[in-house]
Amino acid sequence: MEQRTDLALEVRESFPEDDVELSGVVLSEYRPENTEIRISKVEIKDDRGAKQMGKPKGVYVTVEAKEYLNNSRREEDILVKEIAKQVKELCDNECRGKRILVAGLGNRDVTADSIGPKVIEKLFVTRHLIQELGEDFQKKHRFEMVSAIAPGVMAQTGMESFEILSGIVRETKAELLILIDALAARSTERLNTTIQLTDTGICPGAGIGNHRKALNQETLGVKILSIGVPTVVDAATIVKDTMDAVLSGQGFSEEELKSLHREIREESTKNMFVTPKNIDESIDRMSNILADALNLCFAPGL
């Protein structure tokens, strides 16, 4: 039974043994000192690892901080600083002096898909200021040259995100493209509490089976950093987990469970995704955190 997820960590966890060694895939985990934040890094090093994982080669960093959400501003600030640190590390600390374009993907009219545009609304953009006031102004305030766009979705524009962004990258001569998008998760526990950062780019809509043209360094010719927050989970996954918990204790065999899973997938839950009832609040909170982290990276003088 296909269980959709955009999180590399969840793909890695889906293998039968938690400690199984996958050729070309390295998993490491740690907690920053004096925090409850969990950092997981999945590195896909070669083509064999990419085939096993079903994801491109690269680094996938997952930041989990459920305990830090809905708490004090001080705890959120700790999370913001940790995300900013991970952004800088994935950029190889080469953000200084670069022309940066931030793109908030998704549909601002669909709450679960609006985190990208929401981040753009709260981002401090500086390109126009630096162009008008010069390098002295930039150095004085320690600003990087940041521009931003929320390209919308094809139903709104008639264009793919790739078409819009490729033109903007070319015209602005961007050297780093940061993509913000909503993701699909395998676990309901990770909805709106997890951030994935990766240097591999993104395929818009892949998590829900609506594949668009990939946005990566090969297609756009610029270094990519993708930041995503899982906001939906496949309904079939929830049904499967519930069935397994209830029926496996009643003597049903593994083959019988698989048969039921296939039937449910085909008849009642195909293309159905679920999001929590407090999604409005969660999107506002997570977009604030991501925008604050990016502002900390690129406009520390604020």
Confidence (pLDDT) at 33: 85
pLDDT at residue 35, as a whole number:
84
Please choose, from the candidates 6, 46, 10, 7, the residue with its C-alpha nearest in 3D space to the C-alpha of residue 26.
Answer: 46
Contact (CB, 8 A) for 233 and 185: yes
> What is the spatial distance between Cα 292 and Cα 172, in angstroms, rounded to a whole number?
24
Domain boundaries, the chain: 8-298
* Structure confidence at residue 16 (pLDDT): 61
State pTM to two decimals: 0.88
**What CATH number does domain 8-298 carry, 3.40.50.1450, 3.30.70.270, 3.40.47.10, 3.30.70.890?**
3.40.50.1450
Q: How much is the pLDDT for 18?
A: 47
Four-CA torsion 187, 190, 192, 198, nearest 10 degrees: -110
Q: What pLDDT score was predicted for residue 268?
A: 58
Return d(Cα 47, Cα 253) in angstroms, integer.
36
- Which one, of 223, 234, 224, 229, lies nearest residue 196 by Cα? 229
Which stretches of the chain score pLDDT less than 70? 1-3, 16-21, 68-72, 93-94, 204-212, 248-249, 261-270
